[in-house]
Structure 1
Amino acid sequence: MVKPKTKIGFIGTGVMGKSMAAHLIKAGYPVSIYTRTKSKAESLITDGAIWRDTVKKLASTVDVIITMVGYPSDVEQVYFGENGILENAQEGTYVIDMTTSKPSLAIQIYEAAREKNICALDAPVSGGDVGAKNGKLAIMIGGDEAAYEAVQPIFEVIGENIILQGPAGAGQHTKLANQITIATNMIGVCEAIVYAKKAGLHPEKVLESISTGAAASFSLSVLGQRMLNEDFAPGFYVKHFIKDMTIALESAKDLGISAPGLSLSLELYKELAEKGESDSGTQALIKLFE
């Protein structure tokens, strides 16, 4: 069971990871951090985080390791190999991958960890930069119930909708369902805003009306407002959404289902990326419609 003095290692301090790690520090946990670019972690170090200059050094000195990196290839790099987490973590360590990644990779990590008496969970999140900053992320978890219960106090620091979805890989499958839902929703938000403008309406008032009805969603109320403000800073990168949708589409094909809405959204976001918007927030999709 996690205790207040449980040592936590956090790998990946990007847009969301930085806020998540900050909440853990504020909650009183001793937190060690590693990220490829140390400058991105300076504020956390100032707040009391311990800097480790390699994954290997971090993994051997903590009780719980959380990873929040970019792509499945990054996940593989930090977990496997002689300098990776699984080769250097102590027996009994809990490892939690909160990256949106492949369900098959989550299962691979779980099985490799079990052989070394390490407890692994896949626990991707949803809520964007706002949810991370407010400590109100939705956390979707795959793995053993005993491991989930042991680290639940940590989840409660960074999220509020925390659900064990099933065995290893179930968290990732749930997150992919989340991304499939958002994919077509973002198209609808863009089309609605453009429609409102063309109809001569005040788009802010339109958003105010429809954000509390049957059309209500985070994409509409938060990202729709950012579209109107022409605020395209990344709460969630276009390039990472493309990664998520690509994984989701591959998974859908493996399951034998069609996903035409997902396919269209992926096509549009790839077009957006080709126009130089890879590092913009997902709300930049409106630029293709206006």
Structure 2
Amino acid sequence: MELRTIGFIGTGVMGQGMVRNLINEGYSVYIYNRTHSKGKVLVEEGAFWCDTIKDLSSQVDMVITMVGYPKDVEDIYFGAEGIIANAKPGTILADMTTSTPTLAKKIYKEALEKGMHAIDAPVSGGDIGAKNGTLTIMAGGDEEAFRSAGEVFRAMGKNIVYQGGAGSGQHTKMCNQIAIASNMIGVCEALVYAEKAGLNAGTVLESISFGAAGSWSLSNLAPRILKEDYSPGFFIKHFIKDMSIALEEAEKMDLKLPGLKMAKQMYEELSNDGEENSGTQALIKYWLSNE
């Protein structure tokens, strides 16, 4: 089945770049967002606005969702006005939100009962990856559906890996967030140490970004820190949500994650100080506020 019409729900920081890449690849993209103004610029660039989720879901070959929280995912997939009740049989549903494996399995089951194919396909790469079409996409669900959606995913990402059955994509994203959480602490501590040692932090990054310490966060977020740019490529409030999911899943597996737990506590402290809408690189303020 060739997928040419794509519905996209959630045109925020990440969604805007993803929609632009789909348009640039020649797809007809129908969009919906709770805040109409966030979709206006995309309509000017060629997207088609839908007033309701029901309207969007009924006229596309594939629905992609990229919203904030698991509760938002539940609201748009279920109920009389939701995606599953209104999409056509054969439609591929791809939730690219970072959500819970349990919810991914529920969507998969209910979609299958309606003759649809659900994929949980969370992403990594932040606003830069969304803009440049270089996202990492981690997918769970039926492999046949994943392969059918392959060209669509390749319009938005470069590292696209099928992980297994329903929920596997979300579990993989938890691994990603666990690794990032402790890594961001290391990035910030390295910069604080460089400053205290009287070094030029920019030239320090030139050395350590390409050695064994190298990471996406070090290369892409540390320079933002040096510019005091705390704009969100990924919101602190959403990162706290992700860490909470990972810790809940770990508890179910009787697994202790002390590094993740500490990172979550640090970010929650920042959130309580009004930084919930800053980017994750604002973690550096934890040290600045405690000097």
- Do both share a fold (TM > 0.5)? yes
- 1:78-118 per-residue CA deviation (whole Å, 9 max, x = no partner) reads 00000000000010100000000000000000000000000
Give the letter aligned to residue 97 of structure 1.
D
Does structure 2 retain, via aligned residues, the 8 Å contact 1:12–1:69? yes
Q: Answer yes or no: is the 8 Å Cα contact 1:238–1:282 preserved in 2.
A: yes
For 1:12, the equivalent position in structure 2 comes to 10
Which of residues 182, 185, 191 is equivalent to 2:180?
182
Q: Distance in 2 between matches of 1:121 and 1:288?
A: 37
Give 1:260 shift: 0.2
Partner of 2:47: 49
What amino acid is aligned across from residue 239 of structure 2 in structure 1?
F
Task: Report the TM-score, using the length of structure 1 for normalisation.
Answer: 0.98
Q: 1:221 aligns with which of 219, 225, 229?
A: 219
SS at match of 1:33: strand
Conservation of the 8 A alpha-carbon contact between 1:107 and 1:169: yes
Residue 165 of structure 2, aligned match among 154, 162, 167: 167
Equivalent in the alignment of 2:61: 63
* Alpha-carbon contact 1:121-1:168 (below 8 Å) kept: yes
Task: Specify the alignment match of 1:105 in structure 2.
Answer: 103
Query: Helix, strand or coil: the match of 1:44?
Result: helix
Q: Which residue identity lines up with residue 161 of structure 1 in the other structure? A: N
Listed as ranges, the gaps of 5+ residues in structure 1 are none
Specify the code of the residue in structure 2 equivalent to 1:73: K
Q: Deviations over 1:195-219 (max 9, x none)?
A: 0100111111111100000110011
Query: Which structure 2 residue ranges, 5 or more long, are not aligned?
Result: none
Deviation track 1:112-137 (CA, whole Å, cap 9, x = no partner) reads 00000000000000000111111000
- Which residue of the partner structure matches residue 138 of structure 1? 136
- What is the deviation of 1:264? 0.2
- Partners of 1:276 and 1:186 lie apart in 2 by 19
Q: Compute the displacement of 1:140 (Å).
A: 0.1
Contact persistence 1:103–1:172 (CA under 8 A): yes
Corresponding pairs, count: 288
Aligned AA (1:67): T
Deviation, structure 1 residue 157: 0.5
Asked if 2 retains the 8 angstrom alpha-carbon contact of 1:269 and 1:285, the reply is yes
Runs of 4+ in 1 over 3 A off after TM superposition: none
- Alpha-carbon distance between aligned partners in 2 of 1:274 and 1:259, rounded to the nearest angstrom: 23
Q: What is the CA–CA distance in structure 1 between the aligned matches of 2:5 and 2:221, rounded to whole Å? A: 36
TM-score of the aligned structures, taking structure 2 as reference length: 0.98
Selected match of 1:264 from 259, 262, 265: 262
CA distance, structure 1, for counterparts of residue 203 and residue 218 of structure 2? 13
Aligned to 1:284: 282
Question: Using the alignment, how far apart are the partners of 1:287 and 1:200 within structure 2?
Answer: 19
Question: Equivalents in 2 of 1:147, 1:32: separation in Å?
Answer: 21
In structure 2, what residue type is equivalent to 1:2? E
Taking the aligned partners of 2:117 and 2:169, their CA distance within structure 1 comes to 15
- Residue 256 of structure 1 aligns with an amino acid whose one-letter code is D
Which residue does the alignment assign to 2:122?
124
Deviations 1:25-78 (A, max 9, x none): 111111100000111111110011111011011111111000000000000000
| One of 247, 255, 268 as aligned partner of 1:249 | 247
- Three-state SS of the structure 1 residue aligned to 2:221 is helix
Root-mean-square deviation (CA), in Å? 0.6
Q: CA deviation at 1:2?
A: 2.5
**Is the Cα contact below 8 Å between 1:2 and 1:154 reproduced in 2?**
no
1:274 alignment partner, one of 259, 272, 275:
272
Per-residue CA deviations over 1:156-210 (Å, capped at 9, x if unaligned) read 1000100000000000000000000000000111111000100111111111100
